[in-house]
Structure 1
Amino acid sequence: MKKFFSKLLSSIKTETRFKTSIITFLILLIIYSFIRLVFYIVNNSFYHDIKFNDLLLSFVIGIRFDISAIVMLNLPVIILYNFPINWSKIKFSFQIIFILFCTLNLLGITLNIADLGYFSTIQRRLTFEPFTAIDDTIRMVPALFINYTPLIISIIISVFVFIYFAKKLFQKIGFANSNFSFKKSFF
């Protein structure tokens, strides 16, 4: 048993993992900030009377919110990835962490994109309403596909683009070994 753990803990580059986590976090923060900018552009008519300084302050506060959301969403991935284990010794570990990373982040990105259409209808942000009003949400789904086709398409495109770049990121940081198949991760 001791030999097993010593193999798992051998050749771990925690410094590299920490740098990778920070870079990934910054990339996610840029994605969320971009979605916030698009949100403002799409819903500009609701903010016409707000001064530039107040708008800038709301973006800064929004970044603080995004930081906490990204950390909360990615906490399982952060813990798994930065845990001092040599993941190449564990079968399917790459696929599990990759799927977890994509699933959690695509959930957050999808909810933010859905906010683009939701806000103009309800005049408030989509936070936890899908979880508190499940019946209404289920009844609204067919109308969402009809009324918000561009948003649905942008969500689908975002999924593919995010997975593509996540794959590139995982390969660049050396987290994916030669046995790792991204296709097997999702099919």
Structure 2
Amino acid sequence: CIGKEEVCLVNEVCKDFKYPPVTVGFEEQNEVILKDEFNAFFLDDSISNRLERAILDATFPDKALEFFKKRKKREKHIQRLEIPSFSHAVTNPNEAVFYGLGFELPNIEKLKSGSNKEVYIDAILATSHALLEITNKEVDVSIKSDLIIYCPSIYTHLYSFKSQFWNQIIRKESKVAKDFIMNGLFKNPNYSGFNIKIN
């Protein structure tokens, strides 16, 4: 979150762009001001205005112009879907697309963590297929898409298990804590799912 001075500086730099970037933030100097409730439609007007200007400037090739002229602005209301949200890191990328398109997934179905990778793969496929089914209804042709596979970001230096960092953990922490940190976080083959028995 940046203050007024930084926003003014960004706005000054943006003046040099033919199509200035959309500035989003809490300060009133931003083009899109974040209020109490952020939703998927906050950027619609800004994006639409830039697109209309680009069309008037004849920026696009004829085929793209034909496509855009057939399109209309989406209605700004949230649609509820019956498909479940798995509320898990492996499905978050696909589910984020639903939210960005203006859909709500009120039904939560928690994934049971463990060594069975099929549970996670099935959840990724289910959200992907549901997304393709919905988006294909909105266009005249079938859209094929690659799956987004979850990959946690990592700090490679933490994977040097003979380092001073790990020596301190091994010396100071209990067996349960070490097991959780090592096998649950760093040597975990189970898509971030981990079961641990504690007394």
TM superposition score normalised by structure 2:
0.29
Point out the structure with the larger helix share.
1
Higher relative contact order (CA 8 A, sep 6+): 1
Q: Which of the pair has more CA radius of gyration?
A: 2
The structure with the greater share of residues assigned to strand is 2
What is the TM-score with the length of structure 1 in the denominator?
0.31
